Amino acid sequence: MIKKKTFSIGGIHLDKHKITAAMPIVDAGLPELVYIPVKQHIGAPAKILVKKGDKVKVGTLLADADGIVSADIHSSVSGEIVKIDEIIDADAYPETMIVIKVEGDEHEPNIDLSPTIISEIPYTPEEIINKVRSSGIVGMGGAGYPTPVKITISEGKKVDTLLINGIECEAYLTADGRLMVEKAEQIIIGARIINKALGIQNAIIAIDENKPEAIEIMSRLTKKYVGVNVCVCQSKYPQGAEKQLIAAITGREVPPGKLPVDVGCIVHNVGTAFAIYEAVQKNKPLYERIVTVTGDDAAEHLGNYRVRIGTPASFLIAKTTQHPEHIGKIIFGGGMMGVSAVNMDAPLTKLTSGILLLNDQDAVKPPEIACIRCAKCLDACPMGLRPFAIASAIKSNDFAELKRLHTQSCIECGSCAFICPARIPLLDYCKLGKIEVKKQQ
Amino acid sequence: MSLIISNILILGGIGLVAAVVLYMVSKKFAVKESPRIKAVEALLPGVNCGACGKAGCHDFAKACAEANTEDFKNLHCTVGGQSTMQKIADLLGYKTAEKDPTVAVLRCQGSCANAPAKFEYTGLKSCRLVSRIATSQSECPDGCNRMGDCVRACKFGALRLDDITGLPVVDENKCVSCGACVAICPKKLFEIRPKGKNGERVYVACRNRQKGAVARKNCLAACIGCTKCTQIHPDIKVQDNLSYIPMNVDASQYGEKLAQICPTGAIVYTGKKEQQS
């Protein structure tokens, strides 16, 4: 059964940075105030249903999805709404947020908090989709695409394989790995629920080889469930990217500008599968997630935390270190694709899979020197692009050339910038190229 | 010896036949172009900036040569200006339309002092990239990122970043109002405005659409939408907490008044003095 698969072009091997891989998930506790943004997904911001002074419980609906590509937002704590205002988030964008003052920890009565695992799925596909929709679930791998859209197959499309993405190839992050170890059965049932909604029988849980514990547990448990299998992949970055994962496991190539559904695949993150299980079987809306707090030597108490959505990053950082002055940079997400945060009080959202703390020395970017034409970026690019050519097209303002170089296919994995010996910010150039190509269309 | 001669004869023969064929083909399939196009193109600056709305200088020359009297009035080479258009008109026997010279103005005063940077940016120096990943370098979401994409886009060297303010400065004498900076700026901060008599211009140098108090917090020189300027001239309108002075407002008549009444100094009046100095 164990045969290590991977994608054929590009990719890089990251150093072993999974410091927190063996640390069990612990509860982060409740902060004094939570800041819940009304837009934590791709699509339209949700419509606010509450007002200042309202009392809410854990799981109370705060904002309703505005349209199909949008998601419900639920309260993650119980307490009183003290403010609804535009607040600067981690990316320095002012976003509408609902600020709740925490009082006690009272859950909505229909939420099942018992630890029993329910494996029977007595619901019809429509019921499942409605439950997922009313729980505000979005893709938790980082893109934040509303899940109800992804488990509904539009007419004319045919899907035969569901891939549960447990690769977590990102540097430093271990949240998904821990979830697979501790909540393996729930994830498998979650995969079966998605299967039922899609009307297919075949689900593959992809795990990369650097998580032996998760592979062992998953392989053992999948024997109990028909139609769910484990596939072990090589540890290579970006193995966890949607297109690379499909290429590795099914050998199918997603054409540029197309979606996985066009080649008969649907990819869901393990975190999403777990959230779907909790939503369908336990009536629990998405109000908490696992966040890895990590970093080489910037903090003392690193680990995997179960965090209520809207918790300020500063609360979590204060829990992990007594000396926040040693932190040079805070990155929301992993080491490769994470975004450096501007605001330490920015809240964690449904999409924050980790907080990476860099110390003062690591936070400094080395200076850029001239390109020596080593073509390492070419070998590293998993999409087969030419990052150095994109960079020179940008430098010479040749925007027509960008389109010929298929800049819009870039998945922004950062492999080129990571591998570049001249430390040219190639990823930045590619991102800029994508902006320009978009402008032309 | 005979080998050399035969080689020369064979190669020479092939060359001669090919030359004759090429000559015939070039004569038969020659693209006939009006000689006037060439003559007009020779008068143009030849920078292919595209500011006229055509694909390049050749395209513009073609449009000029093919235009009738009415169409010709709509054609204008901003780089060459009135003098170039006059030369073309003389050549073609048309009359040029009177066109005020224009210049690009920066509608932002978010200097390092007025709107300090809220974070230290270490990535690629590009305004477009910064505005994608983090809206703006300062607190103002509509303000200048001070990274100089416009400076790199300007083909005429009319822009430079000021060392102290960090903002791009337009060199009035070099700017040909080609619009490259207008197109590249992710915040749409540049506007092509008439140069004005004696270089007098008045405009609102702000694009911040936040409410007054927030805008003021973002930047010391922000337009707070107080509507005081609308009392000076009826055409001035405040929309989304932001005032806009239309180009028909006479700068020499109202400019000084407008600049004085603006409580934050968001309205810029260039005045006559600058022209003399």
pLDDT at B17 over 80: yes
Cα(B4)–Cα(B11) distance, integer angstroms? 11
pLDDT at B159 over 60: yes
> What is the pLDDT, as a whole number, of residue A8?
84
Cβ <8 Å between A436 and B128: yes
Please, which pLDDT band fits residue A418 given cuts at 50, 70 and 90? very high
- B125: nearest Cα among A389, A367, A418, A336: A367
Cβ <8 Å between B126 and A432: yes
φ/ψ region of B244 (left if φ > 0, alpha if ψ in -120 to 50, else beta) reads beta
Per-residue pLDDT of A55-67, as tens digits, reads: 999 999 999 988 8
Per-residue pLDDT of A120-148, as tens digits, reads: 889 999 999 999 999 999 998 878 889 99
| Contacting residues of A for B129, CB less than 8 Å apart | 428, 431-432, 435
pLDDT at A161 over 50: yes
Cβ <8 Å between B153 and A436: no
Structure tokens, A303: 């680990």
The answer to whether the CB of A4 falls within 8 A of the CB of A410 is no
Comparing A425 with A299, the larger pLDDT belongs to A425
Q: What is the mean pLDDT of residues B200-217?
A: 88
- Which of A93, A397, A429 is nearest residue B124 as measured by Cβ atoms? A429
> What is the pLDDT, as a whole number, of residue B272?
67
Chain B residue set in contact with A, beta carbons under 8 Å: 118-119, 122-124, 126, 128-129, 132-136, 141, 152-153
> What is the pLDDT, as a whole number, of residue B277?
38
Whether chain B has a CB inside 8 Å of the CB on A342: the answer is: yes
> What is the pLDDT, as a whole number, of residue A1?
46
Cα(A16)–Cα(A171) distance, integer angstroms? 8
What is the DSSP-derived secondary structure letter of residue A226?
A: T
| Contacting residues of A for B215, CB less than 8 Å apart | none
In sequence order, what E strands does A183-269 have? 203-208, 228-233, 265-269
Single-letter code of the amino acid located at A45: P
Comparing B72 with A403, the larger pLDDT belongs to A403
- Which of A94, A342, A431 is nearest residue B132 as measured by Cβ atoms? A431
Comparing B6 with B178, the larger pLDDT belongs to B6
Per residue in A81-113, is it b (16+ CB within 10 Å) or e — as a string? beebeebbbbbbbebbbbbbebeeeeebeeeee
pLDDT at B134 over 80: no
SS (H, E, C) A179-200: HHHHCHHHHHHHHHHHHHHHCC
Whether chain B has a CB inside 8 Å of the CB on A432: the answer is: yes
* Most B-contacting residue of A397, A398, A420 (CB-CB within 10 A), to test interface: A397
Cβ <8 Å between B152 and A397: yes
For strands B242-244 and B237-239, give the pairing: antiparallel
* Most A-contacting residue of B47, B118, B119, B133 (CB-CB within 10 A), to test interface: B133
| Residue B120, min C-alpha distance to chain A (Å) | 9
pLDDT at B192 over 80: yes
Cβ <8 Å between A435 and B135: no
Angle (CA) A175-A179-A181 rounded to 5° is: 120
Structure tokens, A300: 């003392």
Single-letter code of the amino acid located at B28: K
pLDDT at A119 over 70: yes
Cα(A275)–Cα(A147) distance, integer angstroms? 10
Residue of A nearest to B214 (CA): A86
Cα-atom radius of gyration of chain B, to the nearest Å?
A: 27
| Residue B142, min C-alpha distance to chain A (Å) | 11
> What is the pLDDT, as a whole number, of residue B248?
85
Cβ <8 Å between B134 and A342: yes
Please, which pLDDT band fits residue A215 given cuts at 50, 70 and 90? very high
Sheet order of strands, A288-294 included: A25-27, A303-308, A288-294, A354-359, A327-332, A339-340
| Residue A87, min C-alpha distance to chain B (Å) | 12
Go through chain B and tell me how many residues it has: 277
Instruction: Give me chain B's average pLDDT, please.
Output: 87
What is the DSSP-derived secondary structure letter of residue A23?
A: P
For strands A303-308 and A25-27, give the pairing: parallel
Single-letter code of the amino acid located at A310: G
Cα(A397)–Cα(A395) distance, integer angstroms? 6
Cα-atom radius of gyration of chain A, to the nearest Å?
A: 21
- Which of B118, B123, B153 is nearest residue A425 as measured by Cβ atoms? B123
The angle that helices A175-182 and A184-198 make with each other, rounded to 10 degrees, is: 90
Per-residue pLDDT of A63-83, as tens digits, reads: 998 888 899 999 999 999 999
What number is the ipTM of this complex?
0.78
Cβ <8 Å between A91 and B135: yes
| Contacting residues of B for A91, CB less than 8 Å apart | 133-135
The answer to whether the CB of A371 falls within 8 A of the CB of A411 is no
Q: What is the mean pLDDT of residues A190-211?
A: 91
Instruction: Give me chain A's average pLDDT, please.
Output: 89
pLDDT at B9 over 90: yes
Alpha helices (runs of H) in chain B, residue ranges in sequence order: 2-28, 35-43, 57-66, 69-74, 81-92, 127-134, 149-153, 180-184, 212-218, 251-261, 273-276
- Which of A339, A364, A432 is nearest residue B128 as measured by Cβ atoms? A432
- B175: nearest Cα among B148, B198, B151: B151
Q: What is the mean pLDDT of residues A138-166?
A: 88
Cα(A267)–Cα(A100) distance, integer angstroms? 34
Whether chain B has a CB inside 8 Å of the CB on A441: the answer is: no
| Contacting residues of A for B126, CB less than 8 Å apart | 428, 432
Kindly report the backbone phi and psi dihedral angles of residue A348, in degrees, each rounded to the nearest multiple of 5, phi listed first: -80, 135
* Most A-contacting residue of B124, B131, B137, B149 (CB-CB within 10 A), to test interface: B124
The answer to whether the CB of B171 falls within 8 A of the CB of B159 is yes
Please, which pLDDT band fits residue A344 given cuts at 50, 70 and 90? confident
Residue of B nearest to A397 (CA): B153
Cβ <8 Å between A94 and B141: yes
| Contacting residues of A for B185, CB less than 8 Å apart | none
- Which of A92, A365, A431 is nearest residue B129 as measured by Cβ atoms? A431
- B121: nearest Cα among A419, A430, A340: A340
> What is the pLDDT, as a whole number, of residue A179?
93
| Residue A234, min C-alpha distance to chain B (Å) | 31
Whether chain B has a CB inside 8 Å of the CB on A431: the answer is: yes
Please, which pLDDT band fits residue B100 given cuts at 50, 70 and 90? confident
| Contacting residues of B for A392, CB less than 8 Å apart | none
